[in-house]
């Protein structure tokens, strides 16, 4: 089952501003920021599990973008390049590691579900889902966001995170099961 892609959300046609910004035009770069800020913030906040951290990381992403923009060759869409850069910035940010490890790290919670009775389908509110995602263990959260929210493939995630494709699949499944459990409550 293919992951749902968010590509349709990405605004296109900002190549002129990209070229201007790469040449040092700050106003053009601000326009790019205005267009892409929410998407980048969404990636940062969801992957880090914190809106506050997401804001800090978003600033890091755009500063890094400003630095790296002269190297952008246009081989992919700017938005694709930017989002990948955002993911890398989040993955390189280690400071929150271990901070949120306690809440949902109880392993093998899915074992308890084996004898569950059938019940009504999940009714998921967006806020509930967003909140539940933020409470996932870091590894599972990052992979869930990259795969199910951002639409990256397991092979891409494996490359970005330095893990195997199988590891990515296993973490994704674990994340989905944990979310289901959280949303049932």
Record the tokens describing residue 121, joined without a space. Answer: 């389908």
Binding residues with other proteins: total (CB under 8 A): 66
Give the nearer residue to other proteins in terms of CB position, either 37 or 161. Answer: 37
Question: Can you tell me the distance from the alpha carbon of 36 to that of 30, in angstroms, rounded to the nearest whole number?
Answer: 10
Range in contact with other proteins (rule: CB under 8 A) among 73-81, 99-107, 155-163, 171-179:
171-179
Residue 75 DSSP label: S
Record the tokens describing residue 158, joined without a space. Answer: 């494996």
Between residue 110 and residue 169, which ones bind other proteins under the rule CB under 8 A?
A: 110, 113-114, 116-119, 121-122, 124, 126, 129-130, 133, 144, 148-149, 151, 154, 169
- List the one residue from 92, 106, 159, 164 that touches other proteins (CB under 8 A): 92
CB-based contact 86:54 (threshold 8 Å): no
- List the one residue from 35, 50, 139, 173 that touches other proteins (CB under 8 A): 173
- List the one residue from 35, 50, 109, 180 that touches other proteins (CB under 8 A): 180
Range in contact with other proteins (rule: CB under 8 A) among 12-20, 41-49, 72-80, 101-109:
41-49
Question: Can you tell me the distance from the alpha carbon of 146 to that of 131, in angstroms, rounded to the nearest whole number?
Answer: 16
- List the one residue from 35, 50, 66, 72 that touches other proteins (CB under 8 A): 66
**Is 185 a residue that touches other proteins (CB under 8 A)?**
no
**Is 12 a residue that touches other proteins (CB under 8 A)?**
no
Using CA of residue 73, residue 78, residue 82, residue 83, what is the dihedral sign?
Answer: negative
Question: Can you tell me the distance from the alpha carbon of 16 to that of 64, in angstroms, rounded to the nearest whole number?
Answer: 19
Query: Which contacts of 97-104 are long-range, i.e. CB under 8 A and separated by 24 or more positions?
Result: 97/138, 100/49, 100/135, 100/138, 101/137, 101/138, 103/135, 104/135, 104/136, 104/137, 104/178, 104/182
Question: Can you tell me the distance from the alpha carbon of 45 to that of 35, in angstroms, rounded to the nearest whole number?
Answer: 17
The label of the residue with tokens 């919670």 reads 109
Instruction: Summarize as ranges the residues that interact with other proteins (CB under 8 A).
Output: 1-6, 9, 26, 29-30, 33-34, 37-39, 41-42, 45-46, 51, 54-60, 62-64, 66-67, 71, 89, 92-95, 110, 113-114, 116-119, 121-122, 124, 126, 129-130, 133, 144, 148-149, 151, 154, 169-170, 172-173, 176-177, 179-180, 183
């Amino acid at each position: 089952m293919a992951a749902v892609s968010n590509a349709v959300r990405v605004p296109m046609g900002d190549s002129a501003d990209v070229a201007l910004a790469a040449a040092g035009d700050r106003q053009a770069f601000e326009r790019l920021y205005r267009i892409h800020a929410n998407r980048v913030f969404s990636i940062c906040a969801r992957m880090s599990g914190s809106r506050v951290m997401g804001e800090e990381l978003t600033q890091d992403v755009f500063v890094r973008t400003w630095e790296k923009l002269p190297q952008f060759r246009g081989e992919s869409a700017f938005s694709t390049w930017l989002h990948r850069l955002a993911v890398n910035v989040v993955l390189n940010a280690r400071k929150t590691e271990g901070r949120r490890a306690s809440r949902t790290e109880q392993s093998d919670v899915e074992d308890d579900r084996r004898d569950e009775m059938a019940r009504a389908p999940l009714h998921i509110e967006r806020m509930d889902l967003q909140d539940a995602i933020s409470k996932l263990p870091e590894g599972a959260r990052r992979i869930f966001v990259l795969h199910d929210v951002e639409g990256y493939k397991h092979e891409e995630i494996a490359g970005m995170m330095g893990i195997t494709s199988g590891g990515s699949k296993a973490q994704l499944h674990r994340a989905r099961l944990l979310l289901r459990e959280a949303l049932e409550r």
